[in-house]
Structure 1
């Protein structure tokens, strides 16, 4: 038998078939075998995990804003991917906006890849953008390997990535269908938010009123209608409003190619508990009330919500307006890439979910969403992306100790369950010193 490059033994191995003691053998960066715990196998390196550690597949986070190039003072490929690895995430897919230029044509994609080359500690794929006037660019981006196309239905927060509306959105979705790609949508209704009360000052209630739940429901209904008429595969980003779950469930029951994500911050935080001036909690759509949070958890349990991703969207402390605490002026985005796994596990275990559920939401289904069938699972033939996780250990988040660029996080001071002890990418342990991640293209192994 071929000697293994690496053999990892663990009493708790999370496989697609369930949790069990096993040994995982690696050859050439891929999982060659998943055998009995005490398998008598020769390997160049053998790792025996302590009994309290679980071996998980590396997480796949399909919603990350790296902001590099152009706004690398907000974040960057080196810092974002180091934070990902520290949090058990071995693959990210980078969003097309907040970087300059935005990824709306082939040349911009090449600029972004050049900025990432040789600087990533985990594997990185890229979304393309769908904006007014770039319909002719979508086929070229698709040919260059983007995993799909993101659009907004209202102002994105940056002027260089404008929203699609009406006929433009319909045309883009027809193109996406013809390419056999996917449209991923920030679904909030522009008109509803335009007529909502303006957000200003230190009170979170005012910000919450400025992004009402009905804005999500109306936008999702529009997206569903276009998905029906165009046949485009469609994905709803960062669902925060549980009011939309019924609409989504009916669309899924009707057979639409529709998937849905939510985020750790919507499953963790409560609007009632956000302190005045705590702009680290500002994100769009917003964190909502306790009753809404519990309905999101039921949506996950029922399978209406497919997966959980971080929507890691950091910025500089200045842009968060930490000095004034003005929710109206602060940038909307939460930095959570490194703590997404423990944040979800902390809440999931309280509700009776198993570690395997978290793996399914944050690794397997996200990998499937973007067609990375060789990621997100401990199975023969898959990439040996592995995480040693201590589910019963706990820690208190210190934003200053996190690996992303700026020490701002809504999770600062929050106690969480679950600690990532070690992370391997294709069988090589990630140390944070040598960036060995690859740049991924759709359809390539």
Structure 2
């Protein structure tokens, strides 16, 4: 019999995602970290022992690196308390907050301090922060890096928020030079403003008209510009929310050339089809738009080939009135999909229909997102990793009701959709999170 002191927890899972495959395992946790992975029925003295049901799979906690929390300033859209509760309910144990939609936007160390102060004591899961790159603030980027942001985000066209204007090519070059000097990461919303301006911009309820106003060619052109500047400066760049095959082709060419570029896509681009979006239902509006089945097929192929690195929510919530369902006008409605809590079931439902294994999905939504921001001690089940875990029932069927979600506003294009797969519990540092627990999430700094 072992003479070692008991571990805090042994969690026995007949099915668990480990190193990209499913297998049975006993996860041994001490002081909030995984200390060993053993055979399922290994003799392990532990203070607490939990065995998962046969229909459950143990996953590492997901890492979502694209979340708009909006607090302070637009907390009625979303806030740290509600966003992190939603994350936990969806099996997400780490989020990284975007620098815009809050007031102030996160453009320098002082505004980052305001954001961190707003988050302090409210977070159920761990939270990191992106900074922002806008015209004229390149000199502030080294200070943001030193203050612990995970990188900086820019727009190459109007962001929709006056406080966060876009970069032109010279501004992009200046920001990339600053990031290259510290080996920091620059994220870009890549749509070309000239191509968008040249496209027709009718208002009204036609989704087809709205989609045509943001053509895939605009995404491809902007990525080409980003790649050119990354090649020139040596910066690491990341394309957010890729939606199109044309954009994917540009990324693939850049990667083949050796440009330091990564790319993400989102649950809505992998699951929703433009042909099925009802006219006037502005809950489906996002930019770039949800596109058709051929574009979706290309994104899935890009994920499976490794050209697309990861899947994130781009959780971009707002109050219901800003979606303008009263008029159904896609021209004036706020663009953004709120899906933080349900991203895993949405992606898994679509993956399952394509015979994509759950372990691949976990790689895109946990391991690769963690690696993107340098948090290599999470997003995986491995000795030394933080014991952030999710218990997922991949065959459970349920129906989305916006009113049942933890998001601050019940605004979702997934209303009434039946999904397969449900998160049954989420664990932070080896402790199961429960409603009413005090918020113990940490505010992270890049390493």
Q: Where on the TM-score scale, by shorter chain, does this alignment land: which range?
A: over 0.9
| Counterpart-to-counterpart distance in 2, 1:98 and 1:137 | 19
Whether 1:435 aligns to 2:439 is yes
Matching of residues 233-312 of structure 1 within 5 Å: 233-312=236-315
| Mapping for residues 39-438 of structure 1, pairs under 5 Å | 39-433=42-436, 434-438=438-442
Distance 1:198 1:269 in 2: 23
Q: Contact 2:69–2:83 (CA<8 Å) still a contact in 1?
A: yes
Could you tell me how far 1:18 is from its partner in structure 2?
2.2
Cα distance in structure 1, aligned partners of 2:139 and 2:115 = 20
Give the match's secondary structure for 1:206: helix
Helix, strand or coil at the partner of 2:427: strand
Contact 1:204–1:327 at 8 Å: present in 2 too?
A: yes
Unaligned runs of 5+ in 2: none
How many Å separate the matches in 2 of 1:432 and 1:288? 37
CA contact (8 A) 1:75 1:315 kept: yes
Structure 1 residues 213 and 17, CA gap change in structure 2 (3 angstroms): closer
Cα separation, 2, equivalents of 1:56 and 1:69: 32
Is the CA contact (8 Å cut-off) linking 1:228 and 1:256 kept in structure 2? yes
Higher deviation after alignment, 42-51 or 93-102: 42-51
2:20–2:360 Cα contact (<8 Å) kept: no
Compared with structure 1, are the counterparts of its residues 360 and 17 closer, same or farther at alpha carbon in structure 2 (3 Å cutoff)? closer
Corresponding position of 1:27? 30
Aligned to 1:5: 8
Whether the 8 Å CA contact 2:20–2:363 is kept in 1: the answer is: no
Contact 1:121 1:432 in 2 (8 A): no
Q: SS where residue 339 of structure 1 aligns? A: helix
Give the whole-Å Cα distance in 1 for the aligned partners of 2:315 and 2:321: 18
What is the distance in 2 between the residues matched to 1:152 and 1:430?
36
Q: How many correspondences in the alignment?
A: 443
Q: Cα distance, 1:199 vs. partner?
A: 3.6
1:231-263 deviation line (CA, Å, top 9, x unaligned): 000100000011122221111111111101000
CA distance in 2: counterparts of 1:206 and 1:48, whole angstroms: 52
The whole-number CA distance in structure 1 between the counterparts of 2:221 and 2:257 is 18
